Chain A
Amino acid sequence: MNTNKNRRVVVIGNGMVGYKFCEKLVAKEKNDQRFTLTVFGEEPRVAYDRVHLSAYFDGKTADDLTLAPQSWYADNGIMLYLTDPVVNVDRERKEVRSHHGVVVPYDYLVLATGSGAFVPPVAGVEKDGVFVYRTIEDLDLIQSYARKARKGAVLGGGLLGLEAAKALLDLGLDEAHVVEFAPRLMPRQIDDAGSGILQQQLESLGLNIHLSKSTQEITGDEAITGMQFADGSHLAVDMLVISAGIRPRDELAKSAGLDTHPRGGILVDNFLQTSDSSIFAIGECAVAHHMIYGLVAPGYEMAEVVASRLIGEEKEFKPYDMSTKLKLIGTDVGSFGDPFASDCKTIVYENKAKGVYKRVNISADGKELLGGILVGDAEQYNMLLQTCKNKTILPPDPEDLILGSRGGEEAGAGVMSLPDDALICSCEAITKAILCHEIDENGHTTVDALKKATKACTGCGGCTPMVKDIIQGVLKQKGVYVRNILCEHFNFTRQELLDLVKINSLKTFDAVLDKVGKGDGCEVCKPAVASILASLWNENILEKGRATIQDSNDRFLANIQKGGTYSVVPRIPGGEITPDKLIVIGQVAKKYGLYTKITGGQRIDLFGAHVGDLPVIWEELIAAGFESGHAYGKSLRTVKSCVGSTWCRFGVQDSVSFAIEVEERYKGIRSPHKLKSGVSGCIRECAEAQSKDFGIIATEKGWNLYVGGNGGSKPQHAMLLASDVDKETCIRYIDRFLMFYIKTADPLTRTATWLNKMDGGMNYLRAVVVDDVLNIADGLEREMQLLVDTFKCEWKEAVENPALRARFAHFVNVPEQKDPTVQFDALRDQKRAKEWA
Chain B
Amino acid sequence: METRTIHKTEMIWQPACPTSHIPEDGGACVLLNGRQIAIFNFSRRGEWYATANECPHRQQMALSRGMIGSQGEEPKVACPFHKKTFSLKSGECLNDDGYKIATFPIKIVDNMVYIGV
Contacts and interface: CB of A to CB of B under 8 A. Distances in A.
Do the two shown chains form a genuine complex with each other? yes
B44 A520 contact: yes
B91 interface: no
Contacts of A807: 23
A564 B61 contact: yes
B66 A523 contact: yes
A810 B30 CA distance: 8
B78 A523 contact: yes
A819 interface: yes
Contacts of B78: 522-523
Interface string A298-337: 0000000000000000000000000000000000000000
B25 A564 contact: no
Contacts of B62: 552, 560, 564
A520 B45 contact: yes
Interface string A798-818: 000000000101111110010
Interface string B14-49: 001100011111111111100010000010110000
B100 to A, nearest CB: 17
A831 interface: no
A548 B66 CA distance: 8
A541 to B, nearest CB: 13
A162 to B, nearest CB: 47
Contacts of A819: 36, 61
Nearest to A556: B65
Interface in B80-114: 80-81, 83, 85
B27 to A, nearest CB: 8
Contacts of B72: 488, 519
Interface in A469-494: 488-489
B70 to A, nearest CB: 4
A545 B25 contact: yes
B67 A551 contact: yes
A166 B75 CA distance: 58
Contact of B60 (A509, A510, A527, A564): A564
B80 A813 contact: no
Contacts of B24: 545, 548
A484 to B, nearest CB: 19
B59 A548 contact: no
A101 B45 CA distance: 85
Nearest to A814: B31
Interface residues on B, range: 35 or more
Nearest to B17: A813
A837 interface: yes
Nearest to A549: B67
A146 B22 CA distance: 68
B85 A523 contact: yes
B8 interface: no
Contact of B31 (A549, A553, A813): A813
A746 B30 CA distance: 37
Given A819-B61, A836-B60, A519 B23 contact: no
A513 B81 CA distance: 25
Contact of A810 (B26, B29, B45, B69): B29
A612 to B, nearest CB: 11
A41 B28 CA distance: 72
Contacts of B26: 547-548
Most central of A523, A560, A817, A822 by chain B CB within 10 Å: A523
Contact of A552 (B21, B31, B65, B76): B65
A792 interface: no
Given A564-B60, A812-B28, A821-B61, A522 B71 contact: yes
Contact of B69 (A510, A520, A837): A520
Interface of B: 16-17, 21-32, 36, 42, 44-45, 54, 58-62, 65-72, 75-76, 78, 80-81, 83, 85
Given A513-B44, A560-B81, 11 more contacts: A488-B72, A522-B78, A523-B69, A549-B25, A552-B66, A809-B28, A812-B30, A813-B17, A813-B30, A813-B31, A819-B61
11 contacts: A510-B44, A520-B69, A521-B69, A522-B67, A522-B78, A549-B25, A549-B67, A551-B67, A813-B16, A813-B32, A836-B58
Shortest beta-carbon contacts, A-B, top 7: A548-B26, A552-B80, A522-B69, A523-B78, A520-B70, A812-B21, A812-B28
